Amino acid sequence: MVLTTLKGEQSFDSLKLIVPADTFSGTDWNKFSIPTKHNASTLELVDETISQVLLNTGKPIKGLNTFTYVPEYDYYDLQISAKILGEDYYKGITKETIIKVGETLIENGIVKDVDMSEFIQHSQVLRADNTFNIDVKDDNISDYYDALSLVITQGTKGKIDVYGEKGDRVNGVVVGKDTKVLQKITIYDKMDEARVKLKSQIGSFDDNVKREYGMEGQAFRDYFNNKLRIELRVNDFNKLRGFYTNREKGKVWLEDLLFSENNAILYQWNQFVNRNDSNAAIKHLDMSLQDKINYKLGSYSAHANWALLKPFVEKFKGDEKIVTDKIKKLHYYDEVKGTYKKMSDSVRKDIVRFCSEYKQNHLKSMRGELFTSSLTEKYKEIDKKISSL
């Protein structure tokens, strides 16, 4: 599978960078502080080599999450988010908006000047959140989450999960997980995230949006209503290099990311989503009830598979991964060799079909026939939008 060309320009919600110190000039060291350590018994200052010098302006600067000087290596540890862009927050960090980082440092008197060419060309990237916002037709965003959970088949690539922090849950879908092989994709509603994040703050929603994101409340609503936010977090060096450069070795620079023409999100989406199995699920889900019954009785293979799989599908509530693992252990494990035999294609696809049908019936019982009839179309809509980024 190869990387396809991005139709627009790259956009990032956050970046973690190592920036050479000579990128900045006229640093005001009065706005920094040196962490100190004291002996717990005597409270005497422990004399240690200065390992880092922390930014300490006395007030938070929106979007400038970390700006720490590391004397030993003469570089800055810089972590930024798109909130640094203010009214342009919705655009994300791009090759056009990146200049705002330098302007923010200068406007706050932290440095007198920033060599932006040096900054873009020689800042090493350690982590990036590649982010896009896609328009959707239906204003009931949660239906799209149900569509993804119902249709996506993951095989061994990852799993559908819920997005959010403990005590601060946000409805959404996480596809996959962060490993050396995989980097997860999160799909969520920015409006919903804002409501959850700001619910405990004093003041109007519009005022809180301005403080949190830098955008006027109405502009924020106008842009993010009827949109799904798709975010790919990349925190592995090899993945950063593979997604955004054509090199096999070496560091990854900010310039590589901002000017890359690779559609990393589509590539990673295709790693998680088994299109053949998903298409089989869609075809089965779109059948009438009688057609589904006929399918299960229509051939010896399907009838046998249904008899084999039904107890597991019901017991594990349509969880495709658990059902697949159980069937593999029971029927495809060679105890003599200690290895698994390849699962037959008909069994694998019927696990997908029957698990999707179970989840569809569960949704019908809660939300009705009319609701579930449109879910496959919503899945196709999202899949098409990701493919056209």
For position 156, what pLDDT does the model report? 42
> Phi/psi of residue 374, each to 5°?
-100, 0
Query: Helix, strand or coil for residue 163?
Result: coil
Which segments of the chain does DSSP mark as H helices, in order?
99-107, 116-122, 142-151, 190-198, 205-213, 217-224, 237-244, 254-258, 264-272, 275-285, 289-298, 300-315, 320-331, 345-367, 369-372, 375-387
Tokens for 45?
């200052």
Beta bridge partners of 234: 128
For position 41, what pLDDT does the model report? 65
Q: Are strands 168-169 and 37-38 parallel, antiparallel or unpaired?
A: unpaired
For position 299, what pLDDT does the model report? 86
* Contact residues for 92 (Cβ-Cβ < 8 A; gap 6+): 11, 12, 13, 82, 85, 131, 132
For residue 295, the surrounding DSSP H or E stretch is: helix 289-298
Number of C-beta neighbours around residue 314 at 10 A: 12
Residue 244 vs residues 147, 169, 178, 295, 322: alpha-carbon distances, Å:
30, 31, 18, 45, 34
* Contact residues for 351 (Cβ-Cβ < 8 A; gap 6+): 309, 313, 320, 323, 324, 327
Number of C-beta neighbours around residue 111 at 10 A: 18
* Contact residues for 365 (Cβ-Cβ < 8 A; gap 6+): none
Q: What's the residue count for the chain?
A: 389
C-alpha–C-alpha distance, residues 172 and 175, integer Å? 10
CB 247, CB 322: distance < 8 Å: no
What are the mean pLDDT values of the chain's consecutive 10-residue runs (389 residues total)?
A: 88 98 96 74 65 89 96 96 97 97 97 97 97 89 81 55 58 68 80 86 91 95 94 92 93 97 92 76 78 83 89 89 89 86 88 85 69 76 91
For position 162, what pLDDT does the model report? 57
Instruction: Report helix, strand and coil shares of the chain as percent, to nearest 5.
Output: 45, 20, 35
Tokens for 318?
């349509």
C-alpha–C-alpha distance, residues 161 and 177, integer Å? 9
Which segments of 129-263 does DSSP mark as H helices, in order?
142-151, 190-198, 205-213, 217-224, 237-244, 254-258
Number of C-beta neighbours around residue 182 at 10 A: 17
For position 155, what pLDDT does the model report? 45
For position 209, what pLDDT does the model report? 94
pTM, to two decimals:
0.81
Q: Which of 348, 146, 375 is nearest to 282 (CA)?
A: 375
